[in-house]
Amino acid sequence: MGSRQRKMGSSARLFLAAAIAVVAMAGFLVGGARGFSMCNHLLGAQGPWINAHATFYDNGGRGGACGYGSLGSQLFSNRFAAGSPAVYLGGLTCGMCVEVKCVGSRACKAGSVRVTITDLCPPGAPNTQWCGGGKRHLDLAKGAFPVIANPGAGHVPIQFRTVPCAPYKVLTLNLRGHQWWLEVTAVGIPGSGRILRVEVAGNGSPWRVMKRAYGAAWATAGSTLRSPISVRISIFGNLCKLTARDCIKGPIYNGRKVTCGYSVGY
């Protein structure tokens, strides 16, 4: 009887140890290297190094295909990049923060640079060689490339990985639309930087799910949204949402910029 009890006790301890290991691994995947967190918007999983190539360009302050416009230039300065279609993923990676380092070239410099995905590197001419054919490529801002390589090289092999974005304290929104149509582009998302879902709610109305229009822009149309309008954003890699209550007040017009504080919850 005592032997049987010892065996049962041993099995229970093994089961408990296995359960703890599973929970710890889940915490690492969800919350990044700093440990388990059911809801921490400032954490984003650090990904593995991925092989790619890099060139550089000047977007002229246009903000790129993600739709950030001048807000992107103000927030990210010269630390942005355009991803090939294999990186851009139809806009799903807009706002994603990556660490980039040069590898395997005499032009390489020590260290790395962090950039935010704000644009698409078109796969057609004259970019076919680098951004076409399913290649992984980053066209870095002309101010970011010299951090990792000699600009005279023109292009270099690189490795990049996803990293947590800056701990932005407010939501910065670029608005377009009118009384019956609203388009919202959120700039500077903490954690993973990637938006999975955007919802809005007019004064006294339930939450309404927006549809991705393009890049980082989300839109809704139909019934009127009464001011003030609240905004709720779900972020990739987190089990919580950012909610800015009564964020958009007054008239909606193209190019209007709004900055709002937010709360964090499920």
Let me know: does 160 contact 50? Beta carbons within 8 Å. yes
Phi, psi of 13 (to 5 degrees): -65, -40
Establish if 63 belongs to a structural domain: yes
Give yes or no: residues 88 and 157 share one domain: yes
Establish if 8 belongs to a structural domain: no
CATH assignment at residue 136: 2.40.40.10
CATH assignment at residue 223: 2.60.40.760
Let me know: does 82 contact 141? Beta carbons within 8 Å. no
245 confidence band (pLDDT: 50, 70, 90):
very high
Beta strands in the chain (DSSP E): 50-57, 80-83, 97-102, 113-120, 137-141, 156-162, 170-178, 181-187, 195-201, 208-209, 211-214, 217-221, 229-235, 241-248, 256-261, 263-265
Let me know: does 194 contact 155? Beta carbons within 8 Å. no
Are β-strands 217-221 and 181-187 bridged in parallel, bridged antiparallel, or unpaired? antiparallel
pLDDT digits (tens, 9 = 90+) for 209-241: 999 999 999 999 888 889 999 999 998 876 679
Number of domains in the chain: 2
Residue bearing tokens 């099995």: 11
Category of 174 on φ-ψ map: left (φ > 0), alpha (ψ -120 to 50) or beta: beta
- Other Cβ atoms closer than 10 A to 169: 10
Give yes or no: residues 145 and 64 share one domain: yes
pLDDT at 195: 92
Give yes or no: residues 177 and 146 share one domain: no
Establish if 25 belongs to a structural domain: no
Q: Which of 162, 189, 212 is the last residue of a domain?
A: 162
Asked whether the predicted pLDDT for residue 205 surpasses 80, the reply is yes
Establish if 225 belongs to a structural domain: yes
Give yes or no: residues 147 and 99 share one domain: yes
- The count of residues in the chain is 266
The stretch 77-81 carries a mean pLDDT of 93
Give yes or no: residues 118 and 211 share one domain: no
- Other Cβ atoms closer than 10 A to 175: 18
pLDDT at 43: 59
Q: What range does the domain containing 61 cover?
A: 50-162
CA gap 68, 71 in Å, rounded: 6
pLDDT at 239: 63
Q: Is 170 helix (H, G, I), strand (E, B) or coil?
A: strand
Give yes or no: residues 67 and 125 share one domain: yes
55 confidence band (pLDDT: 50, 70, 90):
very high
Let me know: does 158 contact 44? Beta carbons within 8 Å. no
Give yes or no: residues 127 and 200 share one domain: no
Establish if 231 belongs to a structural domain: yes
Least confident of 18-27, 33-42, 46-55, 242-251: 18-27
Give the helix ranges, DSSP H, for the chain: 2-31, 70-76, 85-88, 128-131, 145-148
Give yes or no: residues 243 and 174 share one domain: yes
Give yes or no: residues 90 and 149 share one domain: yes
What single-letter DSSP state applies at residue 105? S
Phi, psi of 81 (to 5 degrees): -155, 150
Least confident of 2-6, 49-53, 183-187, 254-258: 2-6
Let me know: does 242 contact 262? Beta carbons within 8 Å. yes
